[in-house]
Structure 1
Amino acid sequence: MDKMSAREWKRLEAVERIGRGELTVRRGGELLGLSVRQMRRVCRAVEARGRAGVVHGNGGRRARNRVAQSKRARIVKLRRGKYAGFNDQHFTEKLAEAEGLVVSRATVRRVLREAGIEAARKRRPPRHRRRRERKAQEGQMIIWDGSSHRWLEERGPQLCLQGAIDDASGKLLAGAHFEAQECAAGYLRVLAAIVRTHGVPWSAYMDRHSSLKRNDDYWSLEEELKGAQEPTQVGRALRALAVEVIYALSPQAKGRVERLWGTLQDRLVSELRLAGARTVAEANAVLERFREDFNRRFAVAASVAQPAWRGLKRGVDLERECSFYYPASVLNDNTVRIGGEVIDIPPGPRNRGYAHAQVEVRQLLDGSWRVYYQGRVIATAAARQQPVPLRALKRNRRKPSAAHFALADARSTAALSLEHTL
């Protein structure tokens, strides 16, 4: 009787007060939401059986829809074996999709806790932060980042997952893939895949990783004359595609992509384990399948249905823009030497040579090389290694201090004065 519900205690109190003459049967029924006939029946039940008269007849009985013991044992066995490490919701989905066991998440959670299986992740209370409203249309802003993690656990090396989400819908966009570490080539691959699959975004929100933003204090002479540093290889590609760059000042500022990593480090790691992935190629294959399922489950509808992705401007070569750029001079023997590579330039029209010409050297994402002169390809070279950004040319001097420029101005003014005097 100590486990009587509040409703049952209330009924008992009303019956006792009716017995003491403090309430009429009609008034007691009104307080309990019962008719006079029902109230009299409750009073007779209490008179005959005491407190048990207000207890529901099903109390203490085994539920008719209780999960069978054999099914409960199978759920526990699967969670401890094949689906070890899966969170409750993810495990519930797998039971329905792959094992033919359709049970609710609450049931799965109860069965697992009763069996002593704790939740996969402990969740801390969230700190209060002001929420930034999503963009209205898909394509208005992407948020991209890299996450280094033991994605393959002990089956393979530590990898970095580089990818982007659409701010308006939360979709994991095309191009997400694994690299050995966060790098410029990875971001360029993501950008190229997004443009090919979805279109050109209006803006990109990112952190200040050295692949995305120049954080050094070295300036070339040309940069000093312009008063601005050249962008990174990724920054150059974004500028060529007219994508606005927005830098986050903290991890919390790009909360949506950070929450994405938390979800993926839970669900995707489990999927990779289930698939037995051990290599980068196997992991990327699982990721591509997972991306569609992730978007189906977690993406939201943008507030404006019409997407805002831009088409690629006519005449823009995406392979060229999403590659590594190096300015160079052609040597007397009509070769370009860069990063240990020697690229031979064949004769041009009318057997002309290109010695001393200023050219644009591009290493594409497949590792091959192209040499451009006045916007036209004049030489190519096969890939010998995967693209790795070389140290920018002529970036070997620190930017002179303000005092240096002030002294130079003073000397220039003095020289002009002396010239006028003479």
Structure 2
Amino acid sequence: MEEVLKMSPKERERKAIFEMVKRGCLTLKQAARQNNLSYRQARRVFQAYLKMGDAGLIHKNRDQQSNRKHPHQESIINCYKEKYEGFGPTLACEYLQNEGYHVDHETLRRWLISNGLWIKQHQKKRHHPRRERRAQFGELLQIDGSIHDWFDEGKHTCLLNIVDDATGKTLAVMDSGETSAVIFTALWKWILLYGIPLAVYVDLKTAYISPKENQMSHFQKACQKLGIEIIKAYSPQAKGRVERNHRVYQDRFIKALKISDIKTIEAANKFLEKAFLITINKKFERKARNPVSAHRMLDGLDLNQIFCFESERQIQHNWTFSYEGQLYQVKKSVGEAIAPRSKVYIRRHLNGDLSVWHNDKSVNFIPLTKKELQNQRTQKIKAIKSKSKKEMKYKPQRDNSNLFGPSYSTTQKEREIKQGYSMPYKH
């Protein structure tokens, strides 16, 4: 069976030039100049080519073991197989350093390829024009959620990711889905750490943008109160920085969760805050062109009243309102009284608490139980009955003879008196 030789592009180019020398189209001196070799070296290589064919052009150290073999190569390969199989060479090197092994990522790449443990997959990418980064930190945030099998258990959860466009600084929160609640939680954390950004870049999911033109989503209402501009992204490529950041998380974060044996959303969020985000920002964050932050201060704004779910209700005549199937009673206040049929705003906060607001003032209220509701109905029925009894007192019938002519009873009585046989009056 004929042996298959692997030649580099440089060796294939060298072969084509020496073939022209062999046919007499080029002199050896010209071939040496084209191959960037000295004349003596070109003559040695050409003689080896004439004698051995293609094998004479291949470097003799190829596929040979190095005389300076790494003392821990086998230990590193075994450690990779046991703990880090599937990790890329660069990421594996970072974790191997924690094990006490110091090796260059390119060296590890060659070892993994030679042992059949790593195959680099090249993907053909579509061309998209590059958008220049914003100049200031906080000038634009890209927000998006990545639905993925983060715990490698076949169950998909969401990692809500915020990436600053200027610096690449990232903040992430994990939850069961890409809901308004997790978006509020992540943006709240960002504002507490750095301040209010100028603008956010989001896609057209209903958690961000309401599909109805005359309505706003909870996210749009919160951004309006904070003075944050919302920029819509109409394709994944438009928000490329956060999409690329998703790939970093899907590679590094999944492996970090696996090594740390983390299987719950609560534990993953603690790990993100205390360890992973610090590491990832230290590695990938870059300096903004303008060192001045574009974030704005809170200036006394209560984020608990902004990042909430607000609904409108009407006060009934008995000063009650209904919310999510529960009846509530408005308590008497010292200040301005709330008239029936007035509109109030119910706010459900991220911790589950409720608050009621009327004319930008908080309203005291209590939930009504079934027993209290029944008592109110009973009292109302009694009040109606007592009122109807008062209205049912006897009233003498009005004599309408002058209006509608003599009635039958009056005419009959007069007739009896005239005839003299009316009933005598009893004393």
* TM-score between the two structures when normalised by the length of structure 2: 0.70
Could you list the per-position Cα deviations for residues 336-383 of structure 1 after superposition, in whole angstroms to 9, with x for gaps in the alignment?
32122444432211695654332121111111111112212223779x
Task: State which of 268, 291, 296 in structure 2 corresponds to 1:305.
Answer: 291
Task: Quote the residue 1:321 is aligned against.
Answer: 306
Residue 178 of structure 1 pairs with residue 174 of structure 2? yes
Q: Is the 8 A contact 1:138 1:167 kept in 2?
A: yes
Offset, 1:315 = 4.1
What is the letter of the counterpart of residue 146 of structure 1?
G
Q: 1:358 to 1:56 in 2, by over 3 A?
A: closer
Q: Is the 8 A contact 1:330 1:336 kept in 2?
A: yes
Q: CA RMSD in A?
A: 3.8
Could you list the per-position Cα deviations for residues 368-405 of structure 1 after superposition, in whole angstroms to 9, with x for gaps in the alignment?
111112212223779xxxxxxxxxxxxxxxxxxxxxxx
Looking at both structures, which has the greater relative contact order when contacts are Cα pairs under 8 Å and sequence separation is at least 6? 1
Q: Is the 8 A contact 1:88 1:109 kept in 2?
A: yes
Q: Is the 8 A contact 1:161 1:177 kept in 2?
A: yes
Q: Is the 8 A contact 1:162 1:178 kept in 2?
A: yes
Task: Quote the residue 1:214 is aligned against.
Answer: 210
Partner of 2:130, secondary structure, is coil
Task: Quote the residue 1:248 is aligned against.
Answer: 233
Q: Is the 8 A contact 2:109 2:118 kept in 1?
A: no
Task: State which of 276, 291, 297 in structure 2 corresponds to 1:290.
Answer: 276
Offset, 1:252 = 1.1
Offset, 1:23 = 11
Partner of 2:83, secondary structure, is coil
Q: Is the 8 A contact 1:361 1:369 kept in 2?
A: yes
Unaligned runs of 5+ residues in structure 2 are 19-26, 53-57, 368-427
Q: 1:248 to 1:348 in 2, by over 3 A?
A: same
**Bigger Rg, structure 1 or 2:** 2
5 Å matches for 1:370-389? 370-379=355-364
Q: 1:348 to 1:110 in 2, by over 3 A?
A: same
Offset, 1:191 = 1.5
Partner of 1:153, secondary structure, is coil
Q: Is the 8 A contact 2:158 2:174 kept in 1?
A: yes
Task: Quote the residue 2:151 is aligned against.
Answer: 152
Structure 2 CA distance for aligned equivalents of residues 74 and 339 of structure 1? 62
Task: Quote the residue 1:340 is aligned against.
Answer: 325
Structure 1 CA distance for aligned equivalents of residues 36 and 180 of structure 2? 70
Unaligned runs of 5+ residues in structure 1 are 14-21, 217-227, 383-422
Mean Cα displacement is larger for which, 328-337 or 278-287?
A: 328-337
Task: Quote the residue 2:84 is aligned against.
Answer: 83
Could you list the per-position Cα deviations for residues 142-165 of structure 1 after superposition, in whole angstroms to 9, with x for gaps in the alignment?
0001110000011x7321011210
Q: Is the 8 A contact 1:368 1:381 kept in 2?
A: no
Partner of 2:126, secondary structure, is coil
Could you list the per-position Cα deviations for residues 265-312 of structure 1 after superposition, in whole angstroms to 9, with x for gaps in the alignment?
111110111111111111112222211111111111111111111112
Q: 1:290 to 1:167 in 2, by over 3 A?
A: same
5 Å matches for 1:6-405? 63-68=66-71, 71-96=72-97, 98-119=98-119, 122-154=121-153, 157-173=155-171, 176-216=172-212, 229-288=214-273, 289-312=275-298, 314-349=299-334, 352=337, 355-379=340-364
Partner of 1:81, secondary structure, is helix
Q: 1:277 to 1:351 in 2, by over 3 A?
A: same
Q: 1:246 to 1:381 in 2, by over 3 A?
A: farther
Q: How many residues align?
A: 344
What is the letter of the counterpart of residue 115 of structure 1?
N
